[in-house]
Amino acid sequence: MTDDVVCEREFNTVIDGEVVPILVQWMKPTHEGLHWRCDYSIAWPDRPVRRFHAMGVDSAQALILALYMVRAELETAPSPVRWFDNEADLGLPAFEATGERDPG
């Protein structure tokens, strides 16, 4: 890991019958004007590295939103992505509908 990498996780997928790794890295959030930015990268085995970012009002929100964004990208990949061999849970936060409504 480099100094800018806050955390990383290796996922896997199957391509042509072979299990191949997908390395995801989340970078240290940086302050940009009024907002914070958290860059991340997904090293796909069969396409270019995906580099993108999430923005938040503070560093925690930027990192959390980057975790959500990675989950969404992995869940919509052409081949199923797994954290452990047969584990369907990616171990990343997911949006959940609570059914609660704004009283105002």
Task: With respect to residue 41, please indicate whether it lies within any of the assigned structural domains.
Answer: yes
What was the pLDDT predicted at 51? Answer: 97
Cβ atoms within 10 Å of 35's Cβ, excluding its own: 14
Give the phi and the psi of residue 67 in degrees, each rounded to 5: -65, -45
The whole-number mean pLDDT for each consecutive block of 10 residues of the chain, a chain of 104 residues, reads 85 93 97 94 96 97 97 94 82 76 57
Task: With respect to residue 93, please indicate whether it lies within any of the assigned structural domains.
Answer: no
Instruction: Quote the number of domains for the chain.
Output: 1
* pTM (2 d.p.): 0.85
What was the pLDDT predicted at 103? Answer: 56
Kindly state the tokens that stand for 34: 């009024």
Q: Which residue range is the domain that position 25 belongs to?
A: 5-81
**CA distance linking residue 41 with residue 49, whole number of Å:** 7
